């Protein structure tokens, strides 16, 4: 096992893992390169020749024993051994909708669980306008969570953009870590969510210069990369300045097979020629507390600080009345976001939303909105 760990977790700059090359005579560079390449292939072949039954049992035992991070990194390490191990591991690990766990980067764009939400939190750095999404490991936030996504806010003339990345130190749209972005209008009331990958077969990327990605490392014949609109978030005007929280409406593209399983009251408009549908979400109407003289929502202890940014999203049974404060009898909360500290916020989501979609929606809540408050 020590040999396997060293193979899976090479240490940068370590003399043990990277010993100085031996002296060689002139003209031996090419032969040594061939020997190193051949040695790597032999190593991969040695790992891939394990019996399929034994390999599957190993991965299943690791998966069942490591249900939470940071122990779950052992499962990711199994997928890094070789191509065959990766295929077996991804076949054993179920999607977040079934397991309620986030394992690989692809899980960030898959729907959350059906019943219990996945609990996350967002940290804000006002100095550089960055936001980080973490998977909660404890209920008290005493331990650092598992990093999932990062975003940075940029102003471009009359609008604001949030670049969302897998790497907190790389916020370029040309990067391989780029997963999507969020773009607002002049007033900051209407937002569009862009995905770097097509949400369904046949989806067309935007061709305008503002949304085009130049020299992207993700472009490949199999999976095209660009900017695909997958959702919109709108905040309702409050010109009369009537009291009450912000009212918002979200329209998102989700796989039809996932959106139809949330509950029968969820609206879905099938897109012609694709396997995707749209779901409509609205913020849950709060109630006025006479004693506290404020609007209240039950966050079940996940939110501790009053803020205009706090919200809960539910499925809208009537898209034409979404955001008008109408209360349905059955309103399961699909996404809730709230403040727990000066620069810390909780984010809990479930099906049909993914972590990427939920994070993008929560980012729209940051910033002052004079027209709707």
What does the pLDDT look like over 314-344, one tens digit per residue?
987 655 554 454 545 467 899 999 999 889 9
Give the separation between CA 215 and CA 199, rounded to whole angstroms: 21
CA distances (Å), origin 347, targets 8, 142, 145, 226, 334:
32, 16, 13, 27, 11
Q: 273-318 pLDDT, tens per residue?
A: 344 568 899 988 777 776 766 677 788 888 888 888 889 999 876 5
- Quick check: 332 and 260 in contact, CB under 8 A? no
Average pLDDT rounded to a whole number, residues 86-108: 89
CA distances (Å), origin 192, targets 93, 197, 231, 233, 322: 32, 15, 6, 7, 18
Per-residue model confidence (pLDDT) at position 117: 92
Residue with tokens 């054993």: 92
**Is 154:77 a contact under the CB 8 Å cutoff?**
no
The b-or-e profile of 118-138 (16+ CB within 10 A means b, else e) is bbbbbbbeeeeebbbbbbbbe
Q: What pLDDT score was predicted for residue 330?
A: 60
Work out the pLDDT band at 361, boundaries 50, 70, 90. very high
For the range 139-142, what are the long-range contacts, defined as Cβ-Cβ under 8 Å and sequence gap of 24 or more?
A: 141/340, 141/344
70-84, 117-131, 277-291: the lowest-pLDDT one: 277-291
Determine the Cα angle at 84 with ends 83 and 87, to 5°. Answer: 90
Q: For a pLDDT cut of 90, what percent of the chain falls above it?
A: 26
pLDDT mean over 70-80: 85
User: CA-CA distance, 79 to 105, in Å (whole number)?
Assistant: 12
How many whole angstroms separate alpha carbon 154 and alpha carbon 151? Answer: 10
Beta bridge partners of 289: 294
Could you tell me the pLDDT band of residue 358, with boundaries at 50, 70 and 90?
Answer: very high
The whole-number pLDDT of residue 7 equals: 31
Is residue 282 within 8 A of residue 246, CB to CB? The reply is no
What is the per-residue pLDDT for 220? 42
d(CA 303, CA 338): 5
Tell me the pLDDT of the chain averaged across its residues. Answer: 75
Of 35-44, 67-76, 241-250, give the range with the top mean pLDDT.
Answer: 67-76
Strand partners, 249: 234, 282
Q: What is the mean pLDDT of residues 172-198?
A: 89
Q: Does pLDDT of 218 surpass 50?
A: no
Task: Identify the residue whose tokens are 């292939």.
Answer: 41
Minimal CA–CA distance to 161: which of 99, 218, 210? 210
pLDDT at residue 198, as a whole number = 80
Q: How far apart are the C-alpha atoms of 69 and 266, rounded to whole Å?
A: 33
Distance separating alpha carbons of residues 152 and 165, to the nearest angstrom: 9
The Cα 192–Cα 43 span in angstroms is 47
């Amino acid at each position: 096992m020590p040999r396997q760990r060293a193979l899976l977790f090479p240490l940068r700059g370590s003399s043990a893992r990277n010993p100085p090359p031996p002296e060689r005579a002139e003209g031996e560079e090419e032969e040594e390169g061939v020997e190193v390449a051949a040695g790597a292939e032999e190593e991969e072949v040695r790992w891939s020749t394990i019996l399929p039954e034994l390999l599957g049992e190993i991965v299943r035992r690791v998966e069942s024993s490591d249900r939470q991070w940071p122990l779950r990194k052992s499962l990711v390490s199994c997928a890094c051994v070789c191509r065959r191990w990766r295929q077996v591991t991804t076949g054993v690990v179920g999607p977040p909708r079934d397991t309620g766990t986030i394992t690989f980067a692809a899980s960030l764009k898959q729907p959350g669980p059906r019943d219990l939400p996945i609990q996350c939190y967002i940290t804000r750095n006002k100095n550089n306008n960055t936001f980080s999404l973490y998977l909660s490991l404890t209920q008290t936030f005493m331990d650092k969570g598992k990093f999932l996504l990062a975003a940075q806010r940029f102003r471009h003339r009359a609008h604001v953009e949030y670049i969302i990345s897998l790497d907190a130190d790389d916020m370029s749209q040309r990067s391989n870590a780029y997963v999507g972005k969020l773009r607002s209008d002049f007033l900051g009331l209407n937002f569009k969510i862009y995905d770097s990958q097509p949400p369904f077969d046949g989806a067309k990327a935007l061709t305008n210069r503002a949304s085009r990605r130049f020299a992207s490392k993700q472009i490949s014949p199999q999976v095209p990369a660009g900017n695909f609109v997958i959702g919109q978030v709108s905040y309702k005007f409050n010109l009369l300045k009537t009291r009450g929280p912000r009212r918002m409406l979200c329209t998102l593209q989700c796989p039809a097979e996932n959106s139809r399983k949330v509950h029968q009251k969820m609206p879905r408009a099938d897109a012609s020629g694709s396997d995707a549908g749209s779901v409509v979400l609205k913020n849950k109407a709060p109630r006025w507390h006479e004693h506290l003289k404020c609007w209240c929502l039950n966050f079940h202890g996940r939110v501790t600080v009053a803020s205009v940014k706090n919200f809960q999203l539910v499925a809208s049974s009537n898209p034409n009345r979404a955001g008008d404060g109408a209360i349905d009898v059955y309103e399961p909360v699909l996404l809730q976001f709230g403040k727990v500290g000066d620069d810390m916020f909780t984010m809990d989501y479930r099906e049909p939303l993914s972590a990427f979609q939920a994070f993008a929606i929560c980012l729209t809540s940051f910033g002052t909105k004079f027209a709707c408050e």
